[in-house]
Amino acid sequence: MVVMLVMVFGESLVMVYCTDRDKLTDSHVIDILLSNDVKPDEVTFIDLSYCEGITDETLKVVAERFPQLQTLIVDLCSLITDVGIIAITEKCPHLWILSYSYCKNISDAALHAIATNCKQLKTLVASNCGISSIPEALCDVPLETLNLNGNNITRLPRNITKLAATCTSFSISNNPSDIHQKQLRNTDSRPSNGTL
């Protein structure tokens, strides 16, 4: 039996807590999200972290029902893939904070969609996922916090220093061969006019 406590504060925040998060499925969470108690026009924050049994189907419902979403946290939701994150990026243009750490089935495709669609994003936390490269377009997003630690990043964009300079918290450590350190050192020594 799954016991859940759903907290809705000011009708703008949805957090799902339960005694056995690993037993939560899409149907449990979708029932909550579609309930009459949740006013979709007012929800701006959803935290589903540690709900290990949810899939892209939950994120598709979130994307369709909550287009004004500003914060989504789905850390350790291991069944979520690029499909779910891409749905969020396409339907939630006001996203400020996105965190999906330890979601190993999310790769470069989601990061490309974020760079293309999330022009207001301030915080991106995607550590320990399946990311192997950072798209050039991400350097144009006004990020203040970026955490891509523990991925498989072997290629950085040419203008990575621009992104690093705009972030108050910038971390891409624990990636293969510390390639990021070598590339950052190489780009730091380039001419200031931006040519590489």
User: How many domains does the chain divide into?
Assistant: 1
* Domain range for 148: 4-188
45 belongs to a structural domain: yes
193 belongs to a structural domain: no
- Give this prediction's pTM: 0.85
At 11-40, the pLDDT tens digits run: 566 666 666 777 788 998 898 888 887 888
- Beta-strand pair 13-18/169-171: unpaired
At 34-81, the pLDDT tens digits run: 888 788 888 888 888 888 999 999 999 999 999 999 999 999 999 999
59 belongs to a structural domain: yes
17 belongs to a structural domain: yes
87 belongs to a structural domain: yes
57 belongs to a structural domain: yes
71 belongs to a structural domain: yes
Q: Which tokens go with 67?
A: 């287009």
Provide the CATH number for the domain around residue 47: 3.80.10.10
Number of CB atoms found within 10 A of residue 3's CB = 9
What 8-state DSSP symbol labels residue 185? Answer: H
195 belongs to a structural domain: no
Least confidently predicted of 33-37, 80-84, 165-169 = 33-37
- Beta-strand pair 71-73/45-47: parallel
